[in-house]
Amino acid sequence: MMRPVTLCGALALLAVAAPLTASAQEQGRTDGPEESECGKGGYYGDTRRGVSLQFDWGAAINSQENPVGAPEGPPLFVGATVSLWGDDWYRLDVSGGYVFDGGRFIGNVGPTFRSWGWPVSFTLGLKAGAIVIPEGEGLRFALSPQVGAELYLDRRDRVLMGLHYSPDIPIGGGGVTNRLFMNVGYRF
């Protein structure tokens, strides 16, 4: 018989305490300049804009044989990306990388668009730039569409990690370089 009485007592206590805590939360004050509040409804800062620096690494496979005399190496890729964030859903990327198999240098610039979501968002981008193909092929203009996903690793949306796929398509020949890569970066 004590259980219903205990349950009713707990519900009564909850019914009395809930309005008191809600009224206490409505009161509050903020100090400092606009959008710098650290209290009720405070801000951490504007993380939607800014600059980020990312380190890229992964696999890169050329669709055709390397030219005679081109460096032979493992099918790996390393690079870096600097991004100028216009808002949380788009940014302008400037990236460069080196493909060890064939000694190709890839330099691109272009927008990347992000889906809504936290901590995971999907990305879609189109970059254009140059690919330097050694040993007779030379410099080529290239398009590099990109698709991927990114994950914020911290609560303040500063550290992010991503997984992306990008085919680098040189205009005028030279073979497509398929890159599957990860990146980790910091947003300033």
| Distance (Å, whole) CA 100 – CA 46 | 39
At 88 the pLDDT is: 83
Q: Which of 187, 171, 168 is nearest to 61 (CA)?
A: 168
Across the chain, which has 188 residues, the per-10-residue mean pLDDT values are 54 55 51 57 59 95 73 88 91 94 90 89 95 80 94 86 94 86 93
Residue type, 53: L
Neighbours of 69 (CB within 10 A): 10
Q: What is the pTM of this model?
A: 0.70
Name the residue ranges covered by the structural domains of the chain.
1-43, 50-187
At 38 the pLDDT is: 55
At 46 the pLDDT is: 53
* Helix ranges restricted to H, 71-172: none
Tell me, what DSSP letter sits at residue 116?
S
At 35 the pLDDT is: 57
Q: Which fold has domain 50-187?
A: Porin (2.40.160)
Helix (H) or strand (E) holding 27: none
Tell me, what DSSP letter sits at residue 70?
P
| Distance (Å, whole) CA 167 – CA 145 | 6
Residues 6+ apart with CB under 8 A from 173: 137, 140
At 73 the pLDDT is: 79
At residue 12, φ and ψ (nearest 5 deg) are -65, -40
